[in-house]
Homo-oligomer: A and B are copies of this chain.
Amino acid sequence: MRYLPVTDQERKEMLEKIGINSVDELFSPIPEKVLLKNQLNLPTAMSEMELDSLMSELAEMNTGSKMSNFQGGGCYAHYAPAAIDQMLLRSEFYTAYTPYQPEISQGTLQSIFEFQTMISKLMKMDVTNASMYDGATAAAEAVIMASKINGKRKKAVIAGTVHPHYIKTIRTYAANIIEEIEILDIDATTGTIKESELSKIDENTICVLFQYPNYFGSMENVFKISEIAKANKALVIAAVTEMTMLGAMIAPGDFGADIAIGEAQSLGLAPNFGGPGLGTFSAAEKHIRKMPGRLVGKTVDKKGKECFVLTLAAREQHIKREKATSNICSNQGLMTLAVGMYLSIMGKNGLKDVALMNLKRKEYMLNKIVAETKAVKAFSASSYNEFTILLPQNAKQVADKMAEKGILAGISLSKYFPELNNALTVTVTELNSYEEIDSYVKTLAEIIGG
């Protein structure tokens, strides 16, 4: 077996040194009755070339991967420059562990430090940690963190327009920690939370969490929400699931977020069927010691040379155990590297251009759909590269028909919003060419009428 270098001869010598006769003896601490007598019921071993074919076949079975894709909803297909993946293949990065030994981990440490910097700048927040598993767990941990800051309060307020997976994950995480989760109702006209619902933010409110822009692609009234939250001393938590937007639009820090979390998948990571993505976690400086996750800091070594280390570990599980700010240990390390590379390569102008290009194509598509099909704009508010339309019939059925024509038309909202049975959320990125958009609209018109 090519990964097992010990030869029979060497095994003999090693057993001799140990002072036993067979490898089986090494397993004598295991009770006889649980020792396996037979091979496991697994497929038979495969050679590399057979594996290579097998995996190619499986990949080919994913016919959706080649279809025209207008799905978003927390996972976005953007173009990632080829340089990124080639640098990710540098084994010094991907075959290393968490940078516990700073002397031989400065590459990882510095790259995380720069990631922390770039995400902080992008979010306009003071500090950012070394990553969370994904946007949903980042959101959940943000709520938990807020509950530790606002220790006496009982209620976390969450906008009903937040990604349903995020809400569900928050519910799971909050279950035994926070007394009440209050979900703010959706305004069916604007596609944002009802203004009247904001009165539910009160002096018992731990935090208000909303998505920017929200799950339907609509822009909440971020200033208003923030203002009311602050008036009630509730923490403002903004969740950004489509971070390329920040190339052209104001950042959570601009509207006073205390904590900003994100799903950074759209910054250079492939959809990968939903993972690995990258949860980002940023906060105001004063909350650092309550933050979950790892942090890299700058320091000097014993000769005064500037360098980087993992720091503020006293918050973490390996030191604080059950009193830690979180249980997180391994996070999404390599993804922070990829995102750092993406942000370096795109830079301030590239990210802005991507954002504007997305916006412009969204606008073109939305207008065209409204003009040339029987679909109408579902909500008055729409902001970036995602929008929701109302179809004259069940959205899932229409999407299924579109799929048969090779187009993944969007996300039908029926699953999580039964009242929005005919609503379809559509996403456009720079990967969707104008021809592709035109052909979408044409196909849609054929199905639902033009």
Contact = CB atoms under 8 A, between A and B. Distances in A.
Interface of A: 2, 48-49, 52, 79, 81-82, 86, 89-90, 345, 430-431
A82 B52 contact: yes
Contact of A48 (B2, B52, B79): B79
A50 to B, nearest CB: 9
Contacts of A81: 48
The 6 closest A-B pairs by CB, nearest first: A49-B79, A89-B89, A48-B81, A86-B89, A49-B431, A48-B82
12 contacts: A2-B345, A48-B79, A48-B81, A48-B82, A49-B79, A49-B430, A49-B431, A52-B79, A52-B82, A86-B89, A89-B89, A90-B90
Contacts of A89: 86, 89
A2 B345 CA distance: 9
Contacts of A79: 48-49, 52
A430 B53 CA distance: 13
A348 to B, nearest CB: 14
A48 B354 CA distance: 13
Nearest to A85: B89
A360 to B, nearest CB: 15
Nearest to A48: B81
Contacts of A90: 90
Contacts of A2: 345
A179 B216 CA distance: 82
Contacts of A430: 49
Contacts of A82: 48, 52
A52 B270 CA distance: 15
Given A2-B345, A52-B82, 10 more contacts: A48-B79, A48-B81, A48-B82, A49-B79, A49-B430, A49-B431, A52-B79, A86-B89, A89-B89, A90-B90
Nearest to A51: B82
